[in-house]
């Protein structure tokens, strides 16, 4: 056998082969038929600024869509505005997204996954009687930063009421409400029909279980009826991930028809 001459061309070819072999071996391995897609989710922080663990019910919802679509979600938790920018840059899709006039021009939305009732949360006596959008005229309404609560909400913001966008720390928003730095918070809740159920959930699960000493023993009121209605979607940048959104749409329609998605969403607050 002749000795191999290690020419620059041969060396370059071998290096390229090794590079691509390393890249191939470093890729995650999924079950047959699964398509990996990055999924941006909203960050939620506690009073110390630490990420709150993902809701197990949310993870169950995402598993349903993975099983029904053959997709494999690579979940990435980000501040909500950054998640929207990453989606627009084509880095993945987003979940928990609601429609607005501006977003409809930029994003491709899936069918609605859930319908959310947007309730108002207040603090102190006497309890305000907010029943309609007009009742909010001149008020300061607290929302999470980068949030939209539907088309009707967006039409009213900065015209009927002023929106105060706060950080992802829900506990900080409750404290601002106590300090009268906002008149009310808007809060989306799924699955509850009566305001007393929502009020019990807010005070028990959100407030008391926060273990924040400033909130212990405090009671927050909830409006007697929802102030707005919103829908929650998956979404991608216009013209991107159309096949992914189409698979999700089929899973939504099929799951609502056979009841499986309805069952998974039960208890998803």
Residue bearing the bigger pLDDT, 97 or 8 = 97
pLDDT recorded at residue 138: 96
247 in any annotated domain: yes
Separation CA 193–CA 195 (nearest Å): 7
Select from 186, 195, 189 the least CA-distant residue to 162.
186
Same domain assignment for residues 214 and 129: yes
Q: Mark out the alpha helices in 70-157 (DSSP H runs).
A: 80-88, 101-106, 151-156
7 in any annotated domain: no
30 in any annotated domain: no
Same domain assignment for residues 87 and 145: no
Orientation of helix 242-258 relative to helix 56-69, angle to 10°: 100
pLDDT recorded at residue 228: 93
Same domain assignment for residues 95 and 136: no
* pLDDT digit string, tens, across residues 162-202: 999 876 578 888 999 999 999 999 998 877 889 999 999 99
Same domain assignment for residues 122 and 225: yes
Same domain assignment for residues 207 and 169: yes
Residue bearing the bigger pLDDT, 189 or 263 = 263
Structural domain span for residue 60: 35-114+231-265
Q: Report whether pLDDT(112) > 50.
A: yes
Same domain assignment for residues 121 and 221: yes
Q: Report whether pLDDT(20) > 90.
A: no
Residues 6+ apart with CB under 8 A from 200: none
Average pLDDT score over the chain: 85
Q: What's this model's pTM, rounded to 2 decimal places? A: 0.72
Same domain assignment for residues 202 and 127: yes
Q: Report whether pLDDT(26) > 60.
A: no
Give percent above pLDDT 90 in the chain: 61
Q: Report whether pLDDT(245) > 50.
A: yes
Q: Report whether pLDDT(211) > 90.
A: no
Same domain assignment for residues 145 and 75: no
Same domain assignment for residues 68 and 200: no
Please report, for the domain that includes residue 173, its CATH number. Answer: 3.40.190.10
Q: What is the number of domains present in the chain?
A: 2
Separation CA 216–CA 76 (nearest Å): 32
51 in any annotated domain: yes
Q: Report whether pLDDT(56) > 60.
A: yes
Same domain assignment for residues 169 and 221: yes
């Amino acid at each position: 056998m002749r000795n191999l001459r290690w020419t620059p061309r041969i060396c370059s070819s071998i290096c390229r082969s090794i590079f691509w072999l390393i890249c191939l071996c470093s890729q995650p391995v999924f079950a047959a038929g699964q398509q990996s897609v990055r999924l941006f989710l909203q960050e939620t922080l506690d009073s110390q600024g630490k990420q709150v663990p993902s809701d197990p019910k949310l993870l169950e919802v995402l598993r349903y869509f993975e099983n029904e679509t053959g997709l494999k979600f690579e979940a990435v938790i980000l501040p909500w505005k950054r998640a929207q920018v990453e989606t627009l840059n084509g880095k993945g899709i987003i979940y928990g997204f609601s429609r607005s006039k501006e977003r409809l021009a930029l994003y491709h939305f899936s069918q609605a996954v859930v319908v959310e009732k947007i309730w108002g949360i207040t603090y102190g006596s006497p309890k305000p009687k907010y029943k309609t959008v007009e009742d909010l005229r001149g008020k300061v309404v607290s929302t999470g930063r980068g949030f939209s609560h539907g088309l009707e909400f967006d039409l009213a913001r900065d015209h009927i009421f002023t929106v105060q966008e706060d950080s992802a720390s829900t506990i900080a928003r409750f404290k601002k409400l106590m300090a009268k730095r906002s008149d009310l918070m808007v809060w989306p809740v799924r699955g509850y029909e009566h305001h007393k159920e929502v009020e019990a959930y807010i005070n028990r699960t959100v407030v008391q279980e926060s273990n924040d000493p400033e909130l212990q023993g405090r009671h927050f009121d909830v409006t007697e009826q929802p102030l707005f209605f919103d829908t929650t979607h998956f979404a991608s940048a216009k013209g991107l991930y159309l096949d992914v959104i189409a698979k999700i749409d089929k899973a939504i329609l099929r799951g609502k028809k056979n009841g499986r998605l309805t069952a998974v969403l039960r208890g998803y607050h």
